[in-house]
Amino acid sequence: MVRAAVLSAVGSPLEITGIELPEPGPGQVRVRLAAAGVCHSDLSLANGTMRVPVPAVLGHEGAGTVVSVGDGVTHVAPGDGVVLNWAPSCGTCHACSLGEVWLCAEALSGAGRIHARTADGTDLHPGLNVAAFAEETVVAADCVLPVPDGIPLTDAALLGCAVLTGYGAVHHSARVRAGETVAVFGVGGVGLATLQSARIAGASAIVAVDVSPAKEELARAAGATDFVVASGTTAKDIRRLTGGHGVDAAVECVGRAETIRTAWESTRRGGRTTVVGIGGKDQQVTFNALELFHWGRTLSGCVYGNSDPAQDLPVLAGHIRAGRLDVGAMVTERIGLEGIPGAFENMLAGKGGRALVVFGQDS
């Protein structure tokens, strides 16, 4: 019996309870979690913005130590440190054949399996495949990647989503080049990773935008050269900071129609806007045909940073070891499982960066 955060139904509060995990079967790995980040996607699962089978154990950004492996697993062994990969690629679908593994059609197929059971025998699913809000989890072998040498497990946890997403948004989607200007909308966990990644890319000016003035210090520490409190004049404020032109690239990490539109308006003529934030179906963004032609801007979605974790994790590890990427600085709160609902409330209130569940720590 291990403790886990269980979502019994969409919209219901998380329950911290004991669950029974099976031993790993063929092609599976059992992992003892060291840490798990509380991502906005977990909140989106809890409130129904994103749909997964329930009841479920939430959590998708984590790292830990392999406890045991099933038959056929050879790339990790008991005692190895691993990062959880919530969106493994199948390698054979159309997207994978194009090299776009982040769009794999089978990436979330494991979310429908029976993962564990509660003490009363209720079947549980693994939210986003890996069920990281638990002391231990059992996942498919392709959902674990070895932790690169020299990276603490508490840092490695954030590599599994926030850092891969922010880094990929800058380097793979927006393709920021040295000397370009960047605006980042939303200074949460992904936003902080995006700011650091823009700095690593050599951006000449990095404008952070958030509704909370209290996040300015956090944003500047991550690499922002300027900070704008979100308002009705945000696009004008950003153009003023960039010689009247607008930024070369904007990354939206919020998932709101208004913010997406403002990010687009904040870019120069011919600029690029990358949408990382996950919004609801009711968030409608509108453009007229003339402005699309005149401004020549591009607007693109970005899933999981358009990243291939197997290729990008070693690159990120290199940045960490060289001191260019400070993962620990993204963490503004360390909690136990019982602290997850409070972390959700802070997200809704726009407070803090990344909350990190550290296992074995009281809430």
pLDDT by residue (tens digit) across 58-80? 999 999 999 999 999 999 999 99
Average pLDDT of 338-358?
Answer: 91
Please check the confidence at residue 137 and state whether its pLDDT lies above 80: yes
Does residue 113 belong to any structural domain of this protein? Answer: yes
- Are both 68 and 169 inside the same structural domain? no
Angle at 332 between CA 327 and CA 335, to 5 degrees: 105
Look at residues 157, 114, 90 and name the one whose alpha carbon lies nearest to residue 25: 114
Please check the confidence at residue 210 and state whether its pLDDT lies above 80: yes
Does residue 19 belong to any structural domain of this protein? Answer: yes
- Are both 135 and 168 inside the same structural domain? no
Please, what is the average pLDDT of the chain?
A: 95
**Percentage of the chain exceeding pLDDT 70:** 99
Q: How confident is the model at residue 306 (pLDDT cuts 50, 70, 90)?
A: very high
The full length of the chain comes to: 363
Average pLDDT of 267-290?
Answer: 95
- Are both 142 and 169 inside the same structural domain? no
- Are both 174 and 141 inside the same structural domain? no
- Are both 53 and 96 inside the same structural domain? yes
At residue 49, the pLDDT reads 82
* Alpha-carbon dihedral sign for residues 254, 50, 169, 222: positive
Average pLDDT of 23-29?
Answer: 96
Q: How confident is the model at residue 224 (pLDDT cuts 50, 70, 90)?
A: very high
Number of domains in the chain: 2
C-beta of residue 150 within 8 angstroms of C-beta of residue 82: no
Average pLDDT of 257-261?
Answer: 97
Cβ neighbours of residue 324 closer than 8 Å, sequence gap 6 or more: 196, 199, 200
- Are both 127 and 40 inside the same structural domain? yes
Does residue 319 belong to any structural domain of this protein? Answer: no
For position 91, which CATH number holds? 3.90.180.10
Q: What is the strand order of the sheet 226-229 is part of?
A: 226-229, 205-210, 181-185, 247-252, 267-275, 298-301
C-beta of residue 95 within 8 angstroms of C-beta of residue 104: yes
Average pLDDT of 310-323?
Answer: 96
Please check the confidence at residue 351 and state whether its pLDDT lies above 90: no
Average pLDDT of 107-127?
Answer: 93
- Are both 6 and 140 inside the same structural domain? yes
CA–CA separation, 45 and 161 (whole Å): 15
CB atoms within 10 A of CB 1: 11
**Percentage of the chain exceeding pLDDT 90:** 89
- Are both 120 and 13 inside the same structural domain? yes
Instruction: Determine the structural domain holding residue 90 and report its residue range.
Output: 2-147+327-358
Does residue 55 belong to any structural domain of this protein? Answer: yes
For position 184, which CATH number holds? 3.40.50.720
Please check the confidence at residue 94 and state whether its pLDDT lies above 90: yes
Does residue 153 belong to any structural domain of this protein? Answer: no
- Are both 240 and 175 inside the same structural domain? yes
- Are both 195 and 298 inside the same structural domain? yes
Please check the confidence at residue 130 and state whether its pLDDT lies above 60: yes
Average pLDDT of 193-212?
Answer: 98
At residue 44, the pLDDT reads 86
Q: How confident is the model at residue 363 (pLDDT cuts 50, 70, 90)?
A: very low
C-beta of residue 297 within 8 angstroms of C-beta of residue 270: yes
At residue 161, the pLDDT reads 93
Please check the confidence at residue 237 and state whether its pLDDT lies above 90: yes
Average pLDDT of 157-175?
Answer: 96
Does residue 314 belong to any structural domain of this protein? Answer: no
Does residue 363 belong to any structural domain of this protein? Answer: no
Q: How confident is the model at residue 361 (pLDDT cuts 50, 70, 90)?
A: low
Please check the confidence at residue 46 and state whether its pLDDT lies above 90: no
- Are both 119 and 219 inside the same structural domain? no
- Are both 289 and 173 inside the same structural domain? yes
Does residue 290 belong to any structural domain of this protein? Answer: yes
